[in-house]
């Protein structure tokens, strides 16, 4: 894979300040495929200065012109979809068809949604004798994870550009090649120099320097709750805006009377997609005692539809997890589930392939709410099925973690499902298999985060108000 040996700053690829490199590894076989520069404080400082210098011009660019440039960016992403999908498969391990349809297709859809929003959003509001101006918040530090390397970047960059903000992106160290391709796309789209800047590097060095930089007005972070807590504290101390998209442990609640087969098949698919590396994955399935064993057998059968293997081969539906550390972590949780007395009904700790960071699609039954596999985010292809006696117990279990990001309810009718969903402490709930909506606000309650992404709520994160009285 080809990689840039510099940083994209002020409209050009510039030599990195330091000499250190980060190796990029293909998780399907453990081989190094490229290396990129590890950014230092010097690179971050140059990038923030470029973003600051470009801010007045970009903020003053009419929204329709900004929208047109976001549209041009979308067109480049679509034109280069094969190259993007290839790169995502190589550095993340996502099956190629999934990389193209979901990783790149999803990113293009999000970009498109902000083309329309930027053109139609009202950046001015009249309240009594005041005119309220919705102005760009300023320079944005975007810090993104590896699980959806392109989508997570786009979910921050597209609304920030639409709002009139300038940015510095620090992508995950595991997936920097996708970020470099994205920077090429921004350049090709004709976004003015300095509006978007890329610094590759590690979290503790480049990420930390960026989050703490005094030239940054908003830190928008997606990743683990542990790092999010630190970033929130740093931003708080500097009185900077912050948006945090963190972990999850979402509940899939199957109420009596629901279409059990459909609920289980959809639920299993939701957990296995992207090898379970999704913050909103429905990793806890809650089923009534009377239907419990039937649901367990259905789930054990359903995972057979997710053969793992080489992500480049057609027919592979489950790629490896992203790296050796995540591999160890996920296998550690599987071992812990067994130790704590859960019943393994599919998959388990054995490696399905001789090489690469593969984990067998795994299902645990007889999981109790206090077990680690029912409380902690695993970020792998592991489903826990918990029994409940009545709706009140189901609600207690569903709400009984520190997280509140996603969720699902299945019931005989929508009214019953919605009544239950209203009592769930979480940011999103899919009703009877409701589909993803690119315009719906996405974000967490409790320790799943602060702020919202996507749609008009996502755009509002990048705006601040100024009131003029007449």
Positions marked active-site: 245, 279
Nearer to ligand NAP among residue 230 and residue 312 (C-beta) = 230
* Interaction between residue 341 and ligand NAP (CB under 6 A): no
User: Segment near ligand NAP (CB under 6 A), from 47-55, 222-230, 346-354, 413-421?
Assistant: 222-230
Size of the site for ligand NAP (CB under 6 A): 27
What's the closest the beta carbon of residue 232 comes to ligand NAP, in angstroms?
A: 11
Q: Which of 9, 44, 227, 321 binds ligand NAP (CB under 6 A)?
A: 227
Angle at 205 between CA 202 and CA 208, to 5 degrees: 105
> 215 and 371 in contact (C-beta within 8 Å)?
no
Q: Per-residue x/- marks for ligand NAP, 356-395, CB under 6 A?
A: ---------------------x-x----------------
Residues contacting 149, CB < 8 A, separation 6+: 88, 91, 92, 103, 171, 172, 175, 178, 179
What's the closest the beta carbon of residue 153 comes to ligand NAP, in angstroms?
A: 10
What's the closest the beta carbon of residue 330 comes to ligand NAP, in angstroms?
A: 8
Query: What residues from 238 to 267 belong to the interface with ligand NAP (CB under 6 A)?
Result: 245-247
> 321 and 341 in contact (C-beta within 8 Å)?
no
> 319 and 326 in contact (C-beta within 8 Å)?
no
Q: Measured at CB, which residue is nearest to ligand NAP? A: 203
User: Segment near ligand NAP (CB under 6 A), from 60-68, 155-163, 197-205, 256-264?
Assistant: 197-205
Nearer to ligand NAP among residue 295 and residue 378 (C-beta) = 378
42 burial (CB, 10 Å; 0-12 / 13-18 / 19+) is: middle
Q: Which of 204, 257, 307, 341 binds ligand NAP (CB under 6 A)?
A: 204
What's the closest the beta carbon of residue 209 comes to ligand NAP, in angstroms?
A: 8
Q: Please, which residues bridge with residue 6 across strands?
A: 15
* Interaction between residue 279 and ligand NAP (CB under 6 A): yes
Residues contacting 115, CB < 8 A, separation 6+: 67, 68, 70, 71, 74, 162
Q: Which of 44, 92, 211, 367 binds ligand NAP (CB under 6 A)?
A: 211
Q: What dihedral angle (degrees, nearest 10) is formed by the CA atoms of 88, 271, 102, 428?
A: -120
3-state secondary structure of 330: helix
Nearer to ligand NAP among residue 217 and residue 245 (C-beta) = 245
Q: Which of 93, 207, 267, 381 binds ligand NAP (CB under 6 A)?
A: 207
Secondary structure letter of residue 370 according to DSSP: T
How many other CB atoms are there within 10 angstroms of residue 35's CB atom? 14
What's the closest the beta carbon of residue 339 comes to ligand NAP, in angstroms?
A: 20
User: Segment near ligand NAP (CB under 6 A), from 7-15, 192-200, 203-211, 296-304?
Assistant: 203-211
What's the closest the beta carbon of residue 49 comes to ligand NAP, in angstroms?
A: 19
Nearer to ligand NAP among residue 141 and residue 302 (C-beta) = 141
Nearer to ligand NAP among residue 121 and residue 151 (C-beta) = 151
* Tokens describing residue 365: 């039954």
Secondary structure letter of residue 354 according to DSSP: S
d(CA 160, CA 47): 16
Largest CA distance in the chain: 72
What's the closest the beta carbon of residue 401 comes to ligand NAP, in angstroms?
A: 13
Where b means 16+ CB within 10 Å and e means fewer, 413-446 reads eeebbeebbeebebbbbbbbeeeeebeebbbbbb
* Interaction between residue 222 and ligand NAP (CB under 6 A): yes
d(CA 230, CA 219): 12
What's the closest the beta carbon of residue 30 comes to ligand NAP, in angstroms?
A: 18
* Interaction between residue 403 and ligand NAP (CB under 6 A): no
> 180 and 198 in contact (C-beta within 8 Å)?
yes
Nearest residue to 271 (alpha-carbon basis) of 284, 260, 289, 286: 284
Query: What residues from 116 to 175 belong to the interface with ligand NAP (CB under 6 A)?
Result: 143-147, 170, 172-174
* Interaction between residue 58 and ligand NAP (CB under 6 A): no
What's the closest the beta carbon of residue 461 comes to ligand NAP, in angstroms?
A: 16
Nearer to ligand NAP among residue 143 and residue 382 (C-beta) = 143
* Tokens describing residue 233: 């504290």
Q: Which of 27, 136, 194, 223 binds ligand NAP (CB under 6 A)?
A: 223
d(CA 444, CA 246): 7
- Interface contacts to ligand NAP, rule CB under 6 A: 143-147, 170, 172-174, 202-204, 207-208, 211, 222-224, 227, 230-231, 245-247, 279, 377, 379
């Amino acid at each position: 894979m080809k990689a840039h040996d510099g940083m994209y700053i002020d409209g050009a690829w510039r030599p990195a300040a330091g000499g250190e490199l980060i190796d990029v590894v293909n998780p399907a076989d453990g081989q190094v495929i490229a290396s990129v520069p590890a950014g230092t404080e010097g690179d971050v400082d140059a990038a923030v200065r470029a973003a600051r210098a470009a801010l007045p011009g970009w903020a003053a660019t009419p929204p329709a012109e900004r929208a047109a440039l976001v549209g041009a960016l979308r067109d480049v992403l679509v034109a280069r979809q094969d190259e993007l999908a290839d790169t995502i498969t190589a550095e993340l391990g996502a099956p190629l068809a999934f990389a193209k349809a979901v990783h790149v297709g999803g990113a293009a859809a999000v970009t498109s949604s902000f083309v329309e929003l930027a053109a139609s959003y009202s950046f001015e509001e009249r309240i009594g004798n005041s005119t309220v101006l919705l102005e760009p918040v300023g320079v944005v530090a975007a810090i993104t994870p590896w699980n959806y390397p392109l989508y997570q970047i786009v979910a921050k960059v597209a609304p920030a550009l639409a709002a009139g903000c300038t940015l510095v992106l620090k992508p995950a160290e595991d997936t920097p090649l996708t970020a470099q391709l994205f920077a090429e796309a921004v350049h090709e789209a004709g976004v003015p120099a300095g509006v978007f800047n890329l610094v590759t590097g590690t979290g503790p060095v480049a990420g930390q320097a960026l989050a703490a930089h005094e030239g940054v007005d908003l830190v928008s972070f997606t990743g683990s709750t542990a790092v999010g807590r630190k970033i929130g504290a740093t931003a708080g101390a500097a009185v900077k805006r912050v948006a945090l998209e963190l972990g999850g442990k979402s509940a899939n609640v199957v109420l009596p009377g629901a279409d059990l087969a459909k609920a289980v098949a959809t639920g299993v698919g939701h957990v296995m997609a992207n090898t379970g590396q999704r913050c909103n994955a429905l990793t806890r399935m809650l089923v009534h005692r009377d239907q419990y064993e039937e649901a367990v057998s259905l789930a054990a059968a359903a995972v057979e539809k997710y053969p793992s293997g080489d992500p480049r081969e057609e027919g592979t539906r489950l790629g490896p997890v992203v790296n050796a550390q995540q591999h160890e972590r996920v296998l550690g949780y599987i071992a812990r589930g067994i130790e704590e007395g859960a019943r393994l009904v599919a998959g388990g700790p054995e490696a399905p392939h001789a090489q690469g960071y593969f984990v067998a699609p795994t299902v645990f039954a007889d999981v109790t709410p206090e077990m680690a596999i029912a409380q902690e985010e695993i970020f792998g292809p592991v489903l826990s099925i918990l029994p409940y006696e009545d709706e009140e117990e189901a609600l207690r279990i569903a709400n009984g973690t520190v997280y509140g990001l996603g969720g699902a309810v299945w019931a005989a009718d929508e009214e019953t499902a919605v009544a239950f969903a209203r009592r769930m402490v979480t940011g999103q709930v899919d009703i009877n298999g409701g589909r993803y909506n690119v315009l719906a606000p996405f974000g967490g309650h409790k320790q799943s985060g602060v702020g919202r992404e996507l749609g008009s709520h996502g755009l509002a994160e990048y705006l601040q108000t100024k009131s003029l009285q007449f």
